[in-house]
Homo-oligomer: A and B are copies of this chain.
Amino acid sequence: MTIAQPYLLFLADAPHAKTAFGVRHWRPDACAAQFRYPGSTLDLGLPEMTPDQAAAAGVKTLLIGAAPAGGMLPDRWVGDLVAAIRAGMDIASGLHARLTDVPELVAAAKAAGRRLHDVRHPTENFTIGGFERRPGKRLLTVGADCAVGKMYTALAIERELRARGVAADFRATGQTGILIVGSGVSVDAVISDFVAAAAAALSPAAADDHWDVVEGQGSLFHPAYAGVTLGLLHGSQPDAMVLCADPSRTALGDFDAYPQPDLAECIALYTDCARLTNPDARVVGISLNSSSFGEGEAAALIARTEDRLGLPCVDPVRTGVAAIVDRLGVKGR
């Protein structure tokens, strides 16, 4: 799916807006305006516009960038969404609840010829291809666990590659990433048979010096989601993998009974599995989310990890990702 930009970021009366802040951080040029309800405590620092004003200013899509409790779409939002559609905008949502389940939105979109993007619910069909090696280069962020910074790391690497003049595209595999860049596939919502095919379609054949930077999902060490991770790994056929971890955790985030895997064990299993579809696959660096540690502790942890594993180690927020990108052998402008 491709979502037209720029966006009106719809914050309404929601208490949090992780997605909106992510879009604002990674794609500032895609963010034209914000629309808040009176009393909102959120602020993206964007011009305030109503749907009518935004449409008149050339905004293409109202993005629901805030998550109400429970993931349901509040009835009180529907009127403004209908107004946005009538003004000529598409609507994009990363909520579990589907826009297409709201009859008023479906009717308005049909009448106005606009689109409703439920990015958590892929509608494409994917064809199983031959799984040959494709030209172009691919990097995949992989995790010791879920929610350890795989999207953030991938976006930071895309930014660093582009800053060096290298052609690079972040490939989104989850709802936040899709809304940030305006395209992608929620792979965990794809029928299991087609996950690898969807991943292959997401990073198609490209020029030899082009990098697709694919957002990883889940973890091979996560008992519920490892299958999604493996399908994404095989379909992406990465040349390079960056292993992401949260060193403050001792157990998996979702399951107390499961320990955090050792990073060396992660490197071994990811490499072993990735080589099925790309014999050259290797882990090129480690990305730690060290936000629970103080500055000194974090620096020591990063140095120790680098030393123990013999790979560049970064915290993308604290150190940037240049040390990892140095290892990709890219020649910039």
Contact = CB atoms under 8 A, between A and B. Distances in A.
Contacts of A196: 223-227
Interface of A: 128, 130-132, 187-193, 195-197, 220-221, 223-232, 234-235, 255, 257-258, 269, 272-273, 276-277
Give 3 closest A-B pairs by Cβ, nearest first.
A227-B231, A131-B223, A188-B193
Copies in the complex: 2
A292 to B, nearest CB: 25
Given A220-B230, A226-B273, 19 more contacts: A131-B255, A131-B258, A188-B192, A190-B192, A191-B192, A192-B231, A193-B224, A193-B228, A196-B225, A197-B224, A223-B235, A223-B276, A226-B230, A226-B231, A226-B234, A227-B227, A227-B234, A230-B230, A258-B276
A131 B131 CA distance: 32
A181 to B, nearest CB: 21
Contacts of A193: 188-189, 224-225, 228
Nearest to A256: B130
A235 B224 CA distance: 7
Contacts of A189: 191-193
A173 B197 CA distance: 21
